[in-house]
Chain A
């Protein structure tokens, strides 16, 4: 896709003016009645042609520079490491508390802030990912469509430690994340990274839909569970009589994810440091070769053509300065 182009095309309409020097000279017309009065010689001819060419060159190059020419950057297909990733982020109110379950005070970091900081780092480290961001509380919220625009992705992640909403409804959020990733390219590895500090009961009807969708989309699922001190964990096994989805939603959500038969990992983090380790681990796991297209920046040619124009103009100027003054000025002029 390499090619030449100009920024403002219409300027090139002036290019024919560059023939002007072939018709007219910037040198003084001398008032000899006939050119035959001077003897013909090769050097003079060469100089005459050269000066015309210089004039044409100077004008053409200047007009070209006015059109801002460039050579388009070539697109190279490369192999790198990356994936299509959807961050599915819990925006329930409890995410604004610390891992100890308090309102952050002083230098304490809320779970949402920790998630924000670590996900930003994740995005920074991985240059070839395409990332989408989905938030969820009672309802799923599409925060940023999937793309490789770092600024947009980071603007969406930046907003996740703002005050959250009501409850945790993972089912619908997961459905939206799947819908987003389902439209991705087939040959890229795909993953959903669920970041939450709680779990909810997924409606059995939605469970079946999710199961089918997950299988179809062939995505890897990572659950980064930010565990608040004193709350139930993913891997705690309660007394059998309390072992229901309602009483132990975290454990049962984990069981549901396991039953999906997709590549699934759960990380339970009880503080910022553990969260960081988990994010680093996801980073390592989601490194499979992907094809990506690298577009090299285009080369500006303005400097080059201006240089040519300048060279021609300087030569013309020297020729002009070498002009011989006419011997006398006739009267009346």
Chain B
């Protein structure tokens, strides 16, 4: 499984006074089993891009290939795309609607036309994957759960489609630090256990650096930067100009870099930064 995006362009209201180019010549690839992190400020085209990847929006021009198959030439059935590509929107808990958790998670598989036994198996499996207990939650109303649990249920609703590619738009938005850590760990576990491609958008640079194999930086509808976290976050100045930033650990070591002549660290995480500082202090000059 792989994704290729080629020269994607999307224009809102073409030929009208409100014409806006939301995506402009966007091309990139995502390798099988890898994690792609996407960053960019509001209006940079992130959400529009995500919606192209599972056919919710058709491009003005350009193509999207999922596993070598072009999904933008009009010949692919939407159901087949949705089966392969799961998309979890921002604040997905606001899309829950069924009376019980079991029914809500079963909504996707049911739409795929699966039989009862298969639906049940998938509901059980996805509840397990999001770290909840089937017997505890299956008959509960999703509306009576806490914010963090609702979000897990909503994500389970997409996982139950058994996608080969999972896309999450700001999965940790609005959560407290411990729920944030839990959801992030859960997303990572889902990726590892299901062996799928994971694409996620986040404003948290530390999360992006920690999770991603590759980072895509969107700005003004274009891909402004693309590369490994180390490559992308070496462009601190450029990211700051786009209203973005680098992980906090990097911010701190940059200050040390600039003030301590022979200290040099390119750490992205607190752990790496601590190691670099320790090594420097214990070094021959210490």
* Binding between chains A and B: no
Interface residues of A (CB under 8 A from B): none
Interface residues of B (CB under 8 A from A): none
